[in-house]
Structure 1
Amino acid sequence: MTRPTVPLASAASPGIAAILADLARFVRRPRVLVPEGLRRLSSWKVLGVLYALHVAVLLLVTLPLTALIQSQLGLTPPDAFDQLPAGWLFPVTVIAAPIIEEMLFRGWQSGRPRALWLLGCGFLGAVVIAGQAHGLGPLWITGGLLGLALIAGAGWFALRRRPAPGWFRSGYPVIYWLAALVFAGIHIFNYGNASALTALLVLPQLWAGIMLGYTRQRLGVGAGMLQHAGANAATMALALLTGM
């Protein structure tokens, strides 16, 4: 069985040009990698370069472009966090959202069966919780979630040694782009009066999906969470400084 592609060797600290070239190759041809993690100093350098690029394009290109589109088309600004109690905006956007969104959209992109198993169990859990709106009682919901938790744990243990299947590796370019597009698309719900044109306002999230998909493969899901949190913090800082 073909093994996943190993990232750019980093026995010596890679240069900025080498990091950016590897990113460009990945975006042209996304592939399943063996993440380096953040155990080495050189890996932190890679994360720093990726974060700097992520935030630079975010602040200098995608956010200004989105603001221009919004003003020219008369689209309403996002209002998803307007109902949050005072003091909750920072922990939700900089701590909770990066962890939850990285696990949901990129945690399983190793392609390992145990990760895909947990993803499936998570979707079933969401279906069980949604059953409340259709009259499913709390005891049934609690029992269903406990049962799913046991099934998820058993599957995680049973599948722990299995590598990513060939179909996942060969189809990963499509998976990578679909995940980035869905990640961007789900943020349309940040806008209360969303329309078809609102899709033009999620360019920052599409850029984030592209960058974070690479970070997940190159450095791991933990590094993606840190990058995601830092990008959200930079966006919040810009909003506070400009009074947005």
Structure 2
Amino acid sequence: MNEPRAIDGPIYGTSARETYAALFAFVRRPSLVDADTRRDADWWKALGALTALDLLIAALLLGLFWIIEQSGVVLPEVEEFDFSPPVLFLLAVVVAPLCEEPLFRGWLSGNRAALNFAACTVLALVLIGLSRILPDGFDSVAVWGALLILLGAYLHWRRTREANSGVPDWFARNYGLIVYGSSIIFGAVHLTNFNEFSALHPLMVLSQTVGALVLAFTRTRLGLRAAIYQHAAFNAVMFSGEMAFA
């Protein structure tokens, strides 16, 4: 059983330049450290720099998509959801960050309690997925079962998070693959936003995949709350931009 590495001083730098240098080092070789969650001036500065970079990456890719469309290539259409703009904003800026960050990156701390919670969450998601194909009556049983699993997992995590703070050896050894894998899966999940399959799908979710790596750095250096803030801010800006140019 390992413990996350402790580093003297801010682990994300004291300027945007230092934050980006630390991020690129993490992307090249993900490393497990104790997150600095003090939320001081340097913390907020780093969070702002990471959010700005996330938005810049998305803007560059949107520009690339525009160039591709101008060349005559038809890009896959995003599925339209039958909700009002205020509801969509709430889902994108509040619900998505609060649900997706714990699921995809909350457990990147590697402690056993968080990994146990993540395993239970995956089981609950499987049950929710099955509820869509089960006969009437069984679907509601699957959903309620998933909710009970999530409640039990959360209560167990609250009770054991201090005692089970160690990181399993297998997790520490394979940390790089775990970070890359979770980022690819995060991007792949967003393929469900499209109506039909296209060979261009990997390109269309590149922003989410690269953004997931940035969020992984944020989560492991600044804490889970910072990743939620960054995710929410990113979605708020992107949603507002889409509404403005719609």
Pick the TM interval, shorter chain. Answer: 0.7 to 0.9
Name the counterpart of 1:149.
151
Matched position secondary structure for 2:200: helix
Q: Is 1:181 paired with 2:180?
A: no
Query: 1:111, 1:164 within 8 Å by CA — same for their partners in 2?
Result: yes
What do residues 195-232 of structure 1 show as CA deviations (whole Å, max 9, x unaligned)?
23222211111121111010001101110011111111
1:95/1:138 Cα in 2 relative to 1: closer, same or farther (>3 Å)? closer
What do residues 146-167 of structure 1 show as CA deviations (whole Å, max 9, x unaligned)?
3663355336524532211121
Name the counterpart of 2:204.
201
Stretch of structure 1 that moved more, 104-113 or 118-127: 118-127
1:230/1:139 Cα in 2 relative to 1: closer, same or farther (>3 Å)? closer
1:103/1:140 Cα in 2 relative to 1: closer, same or farther (>3 Å)? closer
Name the counterpart of 2:52.
52
Amino acid at match of 1:238: G
- 1:3 Cα deviation after fit: 3.1
- 1:124 Cα deviation after fit: 1.7
TM-score by length of 1: 0.87
1:166/1:198 Cα in 2 relative to 1: closer, same or farther (>3 Å)? same
1:39/1:144 Cα in 2 relative to 1: closer, same or farther (>3 Å)? closer
Q: Is 1:213 paired with 2:229?
A: no
Name the counterpart of 2:170.
167
User: In structure 1, what is the Cα distance between the partners aligned to 2:162 and 2:124?
Assistant: 21
1:83/1:104 Cα in 2 relative to 1: closer, same or farther (>3 Å)? same
Query: 2:179, 2:216 within 8 Å by CA — same for their partners in 1?
Result: yes
- 1:8 Cα deviation after fit: 6.5
1:17/1:84 Cα in 2 relative to 1: closer, same or farther (>3 Å)? same
- 1:145 Cα deviation after fit: 4.2
User: In structure 2, what is the Cα distance between the partners aligned to 1:159 and 1:42?
Assistant: 27
Matched position secondary structure for 2:31: coil
Matches within 5 A, 1:123-138: 123-132=122-131, 133-135=133-135, 136=138, 138=140
Query: 1:35, 1:216 within 8 Å by CA — same for their partners in 2?
Result: yes
User: In structure 2, what is the Cα distance between the partners aligned to 1:205 and 1:141?
Assistant: 28
- 1:31 Cα deviation after fit: 1.1
Sequence identity (%): 30
1:182/1:158 Cα in 2 relative to 1: closer, same or farther (>3 Å)? same
Name the counterpart of 2:114.
115
1:140/1:93 Cα in 2 relative to 1: closer, same or farther (>3 Å)? closer
1:76/1:70 Cα in 2 relative to 1: closer, same or farther (>3 Å)? farther
What do residues 59-110 of structure 1 show as CA deviations (whole Å, max 9, x unaligned)?
2x1222234345643123212x431234211101111111111111101111
Out of 230, 234, 245, which is 1:231 matched to? 234
User: In structure 2, what is the Cα distance between the partners aligned to 1:140 and 1:194?
Assistant: 28
Matches within 5 A, 1:84-99: 84-99=83-98
Amino acid at match of 1:168: F
Cα RMSD after superposing both structures: 2.4
User: In structure 2, what is the Cα distance between the partners aligned to 1:16 and 1:188?
Assistant: 32
Name the counterpart of 2:23.
23
1:8/1:211 Cα in 2 relative to 1: closer, same or farther (>3 Å)? farther
User: In structure 2, what is the Cα distance between the partners aligned to 1:152 and 1:54?
Assistant: 30
Name structure 1 gaps, 5 residues minimum.
Answer: none
Q: Is 1:242 paired with 2:236?
A: no
1:175/1:42 Cα in 2 relative to 1: closer, same or farther (>3 Å)? same
Q: How many pairs are equivalent?
A: 240
Name structure 2 gaps, 5 residues minimum.
Answer: none
Q: Which runs of 4+ in 1 moved over 4 A?
A: none
